[in-house]
Amino acid sequence: MATRGQHLLSADKRFATGGGLIARAIAPLFARLVNQLDDRIRLGGIDGSIPDGTPRRVGFHAPGPVAVVNLHNWMALVRVATSGSVGWYKAWERGEWSSPDPVRIAELFMANALTLGDAARAKGPARWLNALAHRLRDNAPGKARDNIAAHYDLGNDFYAAWLDPSMTYSAARFEPGDTLEQAQHRKIALLLDRLELKPGDRLLEIGCGWGALAIAAARRGASVVGLTLSQEQKDYADARIAEAGLTDKIDIRLTDYRDIDGSFDAIASVEMVEAVGARWWPAYLDTISRALKPGGRAALQYISIDHRLFDRYAASADFIQAYIFPGGMLLDEPAFQALAKTRGLSWDDRDGFGLDYAETLRLWRTAYDRAVDNHRLTGFDERFHRLWRYYLMYCEGGFRGRGIDVAQVTMVNG
């Protein structure tokens, strides 16, 4: 019997993961990759063992993250050498390597991403195949809804089981002693403060999630139009808005951002642009420029990757793009900023807080494990739970390694 989330587990049918009979035959030859990693991991290192059980230390040229990796099969290195993070996940899922804390591995690889170069990225035919597979899931009009549904229509009950009560699925902003819910409300408040909303202002929210920001903005006196492509999110948000008595203030629409009409005093968008894809960055910014009144303010929260890493990252597809967010792409911030400025949108008061996202992800994973233990996530099998845990660990390590960041920025039209 099929279980929920199988479409994500089977995503690798579209992607090269470094397997095959020839790969298995030559796998022992990839032992030399360990020596390459030893030279290229400059910060921190790996403590572990190779398939015959021999202990092996890699890196340790300067202080940095320390990861424990035990290789059980040389195929793990075949997969990472040919298919990068897509193959590395597949090797983990098949038991070809193990670690007591995969977060540290993702942190280590991200901290050393510049010196690693292509050593841990897809190469050759696998890179081309994965780039093509990713391109075929592009967020063109008519396709974007399917990509969003693949992730968000896993079910409102699924997300409610491990998100905080505000149902906020983006980086929180912590102060000492905060609960996750308090930190999420702080994040929303900080973003809304950037907009300088006045009672009666008309706010467009591109990517409204389950409605938390729209409700907070309406309570400040704004009239809100929220956009989503997830029917599950819209249903949940509508019910929540009605319960709050704000139906006359908030209109949640199942509408693509490219199709929005009208003029707004302010625009908010929280971690939506990563789902757009680089091809559609101009269209996204065109929408903001067109919909925002002259002098109006837009506030974005977005995830970016180090500009020096972007070209290699964009040349293939990573684990997140293959399994979790089809069609997605982290921002190359300088390129995106330049596109904004050519449309008359300023780029003001950037505030990055990547380590807050690492903490958010850690707390989500703790809550997820608790939900599994308490049988609150029904209909999902153990393979799916392992995939989802790996996703949360992979992202946490990326933020801890500082190669990716989350930030808020204000844009003023004209």
What would the DSSP string read from start to end of 199-261?
A: TT-EEEEES-TTSHHHHHHHHTT-EEEEEES-HHHHHHHHHHHHHTT-TTTEEEEE--GGG--
The pLDDT, as a whole number, for residue 384 is 94
Tokens representing residue 289 in the block = 């420029």
Identify the burial level of 262 via C-beta atoms within 10 angstroms of its C-beta, where 0-12 means exposed, 13-18 middle and 19 or more buried: exposed
In the sheet where 62-71 sits, what is the strand order? Answer: 55-59, 43-49, 62-71, 97-98
DSSP state of 270: E
The pLDDT, as a whole number, for residue 9 is 77
**Closest by Cα among 316, 310, 383, 322 to 86:** 322
Residue length of the chain: 414
Q: Which domains does the chain have, with CATH numbers?
A: 17-121 (3.30.1050), 144-412 (3.40.50.150)
**Is residue 68 classed as helix, strand or coil in its secondary structure?**
strand
The question of whether 208 is a catalytic residue gets the answer: no
List C-alpha distances in Å: 351 to 191, 300, 305, 405. 11, 11, 15, 10
List C-alpha distances in Å: 340 to 243, 266, 277, 305, 348. 37, 16, 15, 17, 11
The pLDDT, as a whole number, for residue 242 is 98
The pLDDT, as a whole number, for residue 26 is 65
**Is residue 65 classed as helix, strand or coil in its secondary structure?**
strand
Tokens representing residue 57 in the block = 């230390």
List C-alpha distances in Å: 153 to 209, 233, 236, 318, 401. 12, 8, 11, 22, 30
Long-range contacts of 368-373 (CB under 8 A, 24+ apart): 368/161, 368/162, 368/392, 370/162, 371/161, 371/162
List C-alpha distances in Å: 35 to 31, 153, 310. 8, 44, 26
The pLDDT, as a whole number, for residue 134 is 63
Q: Counting runs of H as helices and runs of E as strands, what totals does the chain give?
A: 18, 11
Tokens representing residue 363 in the block = 């707390």
The structure's pTM equals: 0.93
Strand partners, 224: 203, 250
Q: Which residue of the set 91, 172, 272, 395 is catalytic?
A: 395
DSSP state of 151: H
Mean pLDDT by 10 residues, the chain (414 residues): 75 70 62 83 95 93 96 88 90 96 97 86 62 67 73 90 97 97 98 97 98 98 97 96 98 96 97 94 97 98 97 89 90 98 97 98 98 95 96 98 97 96
**Closest by Cα among 347, 338, 299, 323 to 395:** 323
